[in-house]
Amino acid sequence: MNAQQPARQFYVCLMHSAVRQPNPGKCPTCSMALLPEGAKFGMLRHMISSPLHLTIMVLLMLAIMVVAMMWMR
């Protein structure tokens, strides 16, 4: 028997943590597409991985906050 079998990929719903299936599809509860397990914070990990991405994200957030504050006056 091979000691190094590939890890089995599971697919999960981002909204319903109890939904976990061995193949892609849709969540039976909300009909959202299931994502590979571990992809939940993929975009956040990508944004943090680069100082340029992080800087752009912070500047955009600050600009949105300034516009929102000016709009509330």
Map out the domains of the chain as residue ranges: 1-40, 41-73
Confidence of residue 5 (pLDDT cuts 50, 70, 90): low
Cross-strand bridge partners of residue 26? 33
Cα–Cα distance measured from residue 60 to residue 37, given in angstroms and rounded to the nearest whole number:
29
Question: Over the stretch 44-71, which tens digit does the pLDDT of each residue have?
Answer: 676 677 888 888 889 999 999 999 999 9
- List all residues 6 or more positions away from 37 whose beta carbon is below 8 Å from its beta carbon: 9, 10, 11, 12, 20
